[in-house]
A and B are shown apart, each in its own frame.
Chain A
């Protein structure tokens, strides 16, 4: 058992996912078909995009609870603009979604760095503020299928080189995050300041600038996800994706991203997304009530953090700055 824990946790998680997939496949062979695999990938794509933003924030010991509200608000703004200007092209809409999302994210970053406030509280506040803003923007009305701009609806249905457009978006975001975190100076600095903020300040890492960058990034990705979400489900309303921020954090935690900052990889977080996608895809196939989904993901979060804490001697530091709990 002990040696098992020394294997890189990404491979362990991959093995668990494979076992689940095979076990479900043994009962219902349809689960292992390419078509089903595509469905799962398509369903997980939006989550993967959000998870990359959240992971970058978690690396700095922060948290962004406002992602789902940001997603819904940006989605609503895009839907409204699409409705008001039928001639607008998809490129403009994508740019708009990213820009609106980035703006909302940068408000988080500005509040956190400008006033030295705890991220969890700031994003808790913007979580409700952005959610309410959707209601104000839409006057409470739903924008349903026939009013959603055709190019917004069309985007998730495109297939490029055999893969759905949503999966392409997710792949691009995953690769870009990987490059950013592994090869770019800013990316390495984010790990450094999450691992040890004091040391990072001493070596001259511009902490405030990097923090603003990560919240803006998280916001921009949430904005992109908002456009894709509205397109995929062809609807925009006030309660869109409510509570999804917890799924996003859950995927990060399952993927081994430490809430205490400084620890986490794109591969791990991606596998965390895949895990949630496979479990969600498997439940209806083996005829388990979809109501189990939430309970299972809760149990998995608890198990994976417990395993994490055991395999890494270094206990996770938490956002609330409780240091040296072992002392």
Chain B
């Protein structure tokens, strides 16, 4: 599977178009500071999207990923209340993510259950536990370091004034490069494609399919934990409804990025382009005073158009 395909080029062209349109209509959109700040509203979602991209390529899905994020944020809150330091708080989040992901993984691999049902169940379960624990309360007052992680720019921290890239976005890029290299440049990645394209053939050719599936669910939990640390730090509090509905946003990014929902096809380059495209799009619309719900409508339509258009073009090509 090539990382650069026709679809990635289309996305890149759309991204350019978007920059041109918003840049010429919205004053101040094309400044470095604005673009840097715009990354805040999609960096955490991007992390979720990377994990979901791997799962979907492998023929699975995780609808519970945003609920895991909520649980991780909750774990951070309780660790802080217990009087532990930033390291322990971070570790608590990561451990919670790994455990929650592993539960998904065990249910899917050990009990041979379809991942969509399992993760609808764990979505309710995890989000429900967060609700039970917190009710209508919230936890705030996190150590300074988390706020820095979520809000600060790389330049401020390492002392290079002109480098106005948010730390969150740097982490997203590092994660994207890492995931991209693994998926497109290693045997492991090839095997993920193989499992997604034909699980039976993959199993017969000696790939421990279930071990990969399990690992990917744990990875999704881990990414949710990282996103939880960043998001909790950025907004400075934990609420039971934190990141509600983000699983659908992340899946939309992945699908728009050209990853086939039935598995076995797609690339990380496409996913990241779609993350940028949707992120900048919502940011630009926000600058133009468009309400969030209208944006989500436009994104829904975009999602459908992005699938219909290639098929229509292909059909026309076949008839001609």
A259 touches B116 (CB 8 A): yes
> Which segment, of A9-17, A217-225, A289-297, faces chain B?
A289-297
Please state if B120 and A246 are interface contacts (CB–CB under 8 Å).
Answer: yes
* Neighbour of A133 across the interface among B124, B291, B297, CB < 8 A: B297
Q: Are B135 and A125 in contact (CB under 8 A)?
A: no
A103 at the interface (CB under 8 A from B): no
- Residues of chain A within 8 A (CB-CB) of B178 are none
Beta-carbon contact of A121 and B293 below 8 Å: no
Q: Choose one: B113, B117, B204, B311; the contact of A116 (CB below 8 Å).
A: B311
Q: Does B87 count as interface, using CB distance less than 8 angstroms?
A: no
Q: Are A128 and B118 in contact (CB under 8 A)?
A: no
Complex Cα–Cα for A249 and B304 (A)? 22
Contact with B along A124-149 (1 / 0, CB 8 A): 11111111111110001000000000
Contact with B along A98-122 (1 / 0, CB 8 A): 0000000000000100011110111
Instruction: Decide if A28 is an interface residue (CB 8 Å cutoff).
Output: no
The answer to whether A127 and B121 touch across the interface, beta carbons within 8 angstroms, is no
A118 near B261 (CB under 8 angstroms)? yes
From A45-53, A79-87, A311-319, give the one contacting chain B: A311-319
Q: Is B158 interfacial (CB-CB < 8 Å)?
A: no
A301:B124 contact, CB within 8 angstroms: yes
Task: Check A124 against B117 for contact (C-beta < 8 Å).
Answer: no
Which residues from chain B contact A324 at a C-beta distance below 8 Å?
Answer: 199-200
Separation of A130 and B299 alpha carbons in the complex (Å): 11
- Contact A127 B248, beta carbon cutoff 8 Å: yes
Q: Is the CB of A305 within 8 A of B116?
A: no
Interface size on B, residues (CB 8 A): 53
Q: A249-B120, A250-B120 are in contact. Are A128 and B125 (CB under 8 A)?
A: no
**At the interface with chain A, which of B91-99, B126-134, B147-155, B222-230?**
B126-134
Q: Which residues of chain A come closer than 8 Å to B128, judged between CB atoms?
A: 291-298
Encode contact with A along B98-140: 1 for CB under 8 Å, 0 otherwise: 0000000001000111111110111111111101100100000
Q: A125-B304, A128-B296, A259-B117 are in contact. Are A135 and B291 (CB under 8 A)?
A: yes
Interface assignment of B312: CB less than 8 Å from any CB of chain A: yes
Cβ of B125 and Cβ of A136 under 8 Å apart? no
Interface residue? B9 (CB, 8 A): no
A250 to B120 alpha-carbon distance, docked (Å)? 8
State whether B303 touches A124 (Cβ < 8 A): yes
Once the chains are docked, how many angstroms separate the CA of A306 from the CA of B125? 15
A298 to chain B, nearest CB (A): 3
Question: Quick check: A298 and B126 within 8 Å, CB to CB?
Answer: yes
Complex Cα distance, B293 from A134, in Å, reads 9
Check B131–A295 contact: CB distance below 8 A: yes
Q: A297-B124, A302-B125 are in contact. Are A125 and B116 (CB under 8 A)?
A: no
Q: Please give the distance in Å from A311's CB to the nearest CB on chain B.
A: 12
Which size class do A's interface residues fall under? 35 or more
| CB-contacts of B201-215 with A (<8 A) | 203-204
State whether B112 touches A122 (Cβ < 8 A). Answer: no
Is B82 among interface residues, defined by CB-CB distance under 8 A?
no
Point out the residues of chain A lying under 8 angstroms from B251, CB to CB.
Answer: 124
Q: Are A298 and B132 in contact (CB under 8 A)?
A: no
Quote the shortest CB–CB distance from A190 to chain B (angstroms): 20
Distance in angstroms from B164 CB to nearest chain A CB is 32
Q: CB-CB < 8 A to B172: which residues of A?
A: none
Please give, as numbers and ranges, the residues of chain A lying within 8 Å of B300 by CB-CB distance: 124-132
By a CB distance below 8 angstroms, the chain A residues around B111 are 306, 309-310
In the bound complex, residues from chain B placing their C-beta under 8 Å from that of A309 are: 111-113
Find out whether the CB atom of B261 lies under 8 angstroms from the CB atom of A120.
yes
Nearest Cβ on chain A to B5's Cβ, whole angstroms: 19
Scoring B residues 274 to 303 as 1 if CB is less than 8 Å from chain A, else 0, what string do you get?
000000000000000001011111111101
Q: Residue of B at shortest CB range from A108? A: B304
A288 nearest CB neighbor, chain B only: B132
A322 touches B199 (CB 8 A): yes
- The answer to whether B127 and A301 have CB atoms under 8 Å apart is no
List residues 248-289 of chain A with CB under 8 A from any CB of chain B: 249-250, 253, 259-260, 289
Report if A238 contacts B (CB, 8 A).
yes
Complex: A126 Cα to B122 Cα, angstroms? 24
User: In the complex the two chains form, is A126's CB within 8 Å of B121's CB?
Assistant: no
- Mark contacts of A10-30 with chain B using CB atoms, 8 A cut-off: 1 yes-contact digit, 0 otherwise: 000000000000000000000
Q: How far is the CA of A324 from the CA of B192 in the complex (A)?
A: 17
Residue from the list A125, A249, A289, A315 in contact with B132, Cβ < 8 A: A289
B131 in contact with A301 (CB, 8 Å)? no
Q: Binary interface profile of B, 244-281, with partner A (CB < 8 Å = 1, else 0)?
A: 01001001100100000111000000000000000000
With a CB–CB cut-off of 8 A, which chain B residues contact A293? 128
Closest A-B pairs by Cβ, 3 of them: A132-B297, A295-B128, A298-B124
Instruction: List 29 A-B pairs, Cβ < 8 Å.
Output: A111-B308, A115-B308, A118-B261, A121-B255, A124-B251, A124-B300, A125-B300, A129-B301, A129-B304, A133-B297, A135-B291, A135-B297, A136-B297, A253-B120, A259-B116, A289-B135, A293-B128, A294-B131, A298-B128, A301-B121, A302-B122, A305-B118, A306-B107, A310-B111, A316-B113, A318-B116, A320-B59, A322-B263, A326-B112
